Structure 1
Amino acid sequence: KLEMENKKIRANAELIKVDSETKRPLEGAEFELWNGEKLVGNYTTNKDGKIVVEKLEAGNYYFNEIKAPDHYEINQDQDLSFVIDKDGETKTVTAENKAKTGEVDFTKTDVTNG
């Protein structure tokens, strides 16, 4: 008689959000985590720029940024996908944001006629 234990794979995912130039962690970025077509949940980066999601089942996942931190823009061009396929591991994904470049309005006044 052969007995096999069928254990579900469970692993963790960590997203690290950083400034694309300084590599400084960014707090307050909001992400959705998807497993294929299924929304797993919504998460916000902490003061260390991190989101940690524990005990994910095996599958193909991706983070989708829905709100950038203040003064930053969402980076649409990055691949934030990962695969959970080994029990107990932690998959780490790094997401970068560029700071918004400001616009300066100034008015030049001629001294002679105001």
Structure 2
Amino acid sequence: MKMYMMKTKRKFVLSLIVLQVFFVVLVVLVVNSLVGTGIAQETIDYSTVTPFVLAISAAVSIVGSTLAAAIVIKSVGTAAISALTENEGVFFKAFLVIALGEALAIYGVIVAILLWLKIP
């Protein structure tokens, strides 16, 4: 059983590493594309698709961050309540972790507002 858990843990860590590498490559490509576009154009000319893409991006930002925060608060909240019933000294730690989970939703709303303000 222990060997199976180690294999599962290694697969999980490997998948996280692959995902991080993918996101780093994606960010580099997007930044290079944006910098090249910004240098080539003096004025920004929005196409008809840009407002729709920005609106969908804002919606995805809110939905994704809200779902992630809900999952974190559900998981951590139940564990925090269980820990508080056994030991009241862990209140601050539990509160801190739940607040960090809620910060996910707040950051998603901030990103969505920034995207929404860019809609022409």
By the TM > 0.5 criterion, same fold?
A: no
Query: Which structure has the highest strand share of the two?
Result: 1
- Tell me which interval the TM-score lies in, with the shorter structure as reference length: under 0.3
TM-score by length of 1: 0.22
TM-score normalized by the length of structure 2: 0.21
